[in-house]
Structure 1
Amino acid sequence: MASSPLRSKTRFHARSVSFPSRSHPLIPQFDERLCRVKASEATSSSLPSISNRLSGLEELYDCVDAWLLLPQTQQVFAQERNQKWVDEALAGHLRLLDVCAIAKDVFSQTKQDVQQLLSILRRRRDANEFGEYLSSQKKVKKVIQKSLKDLEKIRNNESLLALDKDHQTVAIVSMLTEVEAVTVTAFESLLSSIVGSKVQSRPSGWSLVSKLMHQKSVSQQDETDMNEFEKVAAALRSLTGHKTSKSDYENLQNQLRKMESLIQDAEEQLECLFRRLIRTRVSLLNILSQ
Structure 2
Amino acid sequence: MASSPLRSKLIYHARSVSLPSRPHPLIPQVNEHLSSVDNKLSSLKDMYNCLDDLLLLPHTQKVFAQLCHEKWVEEALDGYLRLLDVCAAAKDVSSQTKQDVQGLLSVLRRRRETNYFSGYLASRMKAKKAIQKSLKDLKSIKSKNTGLASDKDCKTLEIVVLLNEVEAATVGVFESLLSYVAGTKMQSRLGGFSLVSKLMHRKGVDEETNANEFEKFDDVLQTLTDHRTSKTDSIIHIESLRNQLGEMELSIQELEKGLESLFRRLIKTRVSLLNILNH
Report the TM-score, using the length of structure 1 for normalisation.
0.80
Partner of 1:113: 100
Aligned-partner residue type, residue 262 of structure 2: L
Residues 1:57 and 2:44 are matched in the alignment = yes
Checking the alignment, whether the CA contact within 8 Å between 1:9 and 1:15 is kept in structure 2 is no
Q: Could you say what secondary structure the match of 2:267 adopts?
A: helix
Partner of 1:235: 220
Residues 1:199 and 2:183 are matched in the alignment = no
Unaligned 5+ segments in structure 1 are 41-51, 204-220
Partner of 2:149: 163
CA displacement at 1:196 relative to structure 2: 2.3
Aligned-partner residue type, residue 143 of structure 1: A
Unaligned 5+ segments in structure 2 are 191-205
Partner of 1:262: 251
Q: Could you say what secondary structure the match of 1:224 adopts?
A: coil
CA displacement at 1:134 relative to structure 2: 0.5
CA displacement at 1:128 relative to structure 2: 2.5
* Structure 1 residues 190 and 15, CA gap change in structure 2 (3 angstroms): same
Residues 1:276 and 2:265 are matched in the alignment = yes
> What are the superposed Cα offsets for residues 182-221 of structure 1, whole Å, 9 maximum, x if unpaired?
1111111111112222334359xxxxxxxxxxxxxxxxx9
* Structure 1 residues 239 and 25, CA gap change in structure 2 (3 angstroms): same
Q: Could you say what secondary structure the match of 1:121 adopts?
A: helix
CA displacement at 1:120 relative to structure 2: 1.2
Partner of 1:22: 22
CA displacement at 1:4 relative to structure 2: 8.9
State the number of aligned residues. Answer: 257
Aligned-partner residue type, residue 255 of structure 1: Q
Which 10-residue stretch deviates more, 121-130 or 169-178?
A: 121-130
Partner of 2:203: none
CA displacement at 1:127 relative to structure 2: 1.4
Q: Could you say what secondary structure the match of 2:238 adopts?
A: helix
CA displacement at 1:13 relative to structure 2: 3.2
RMSD: 2.6
Whole-angstrom distance in 1 between the partners of 2:64 and 2:5: 18
Whole-angstrom distance in 2 between the partners of 1:36 and 1:141: 29
Checking the alignment, whether the CA contact within 8 Å between 1:4 and 1:30 is kept in structure 2 is no
Report the TM-score, using the length of structure 2 for normalisation.
0.83
User: Identity of paired residues, percent?
Assistant: 60
